[in-house]
Amino acid sequence: MTIQLDTGSAGLRPAPLVLPPAFTGLVAAGSPGAAEQACRLADTGAADAGTLLMEERDDVIALAVVLAPNEPLATARRAFFVGMQALADAVGTFGPPEIPVTFLWPDTLTFNGARLGGGALRWPEGCGEADTPDWLVFSAMLIASKRDAGDPGLTPDSTSLEEEGFAQDLREPLVESFARHLTKAFEIWSEDGAARSTGRYLARLALPPGARATIEPGGDARLVHADDRVETLPLLPTLVTPSWHDPATGTVRL
Query: How confident is the model over 211-243, as pLDDT tens digits?
Result: 999 999 999 999 999 999 999 999 999 999 999
Residue ranges per domain, the chain?
Answer: 12-252
Angle of CA points 68, 73, 78, to nearest 5°: 75
We find that the CATH architecture of domain 12-252 is: 2-Layer Sandwich (3.30)
Q: Specify the pLDDT at position 137.
A: 98
Q: What is the 3-state secondary structure (H, E, C) of 173-219?
A: HHHHHHHHHHHHHHHHHHHHCHHHHHHHHHCCECCCCCCEEEECCCC
Q: Specify the pLDDT at position 10.
A: 60
Total-model pTM: 0.94
The pLDDT averaged over each successive group of 10 residues in the chain (254 residues) is 44 93 92 94 95 95 97 97 98 93 98 97 97 98 90 88 94 98 96 92 97 97 97 97 95 96
The closest alpha carbon to 108, from 158, 40, 145, 65, belongs to 158
Q: Give CA–CA dist 125/159, Å, rounded.
A: 34
The alpha carbon of 164 is separated from its chain's Cα centroid by a whole number of angstroms, namely 20
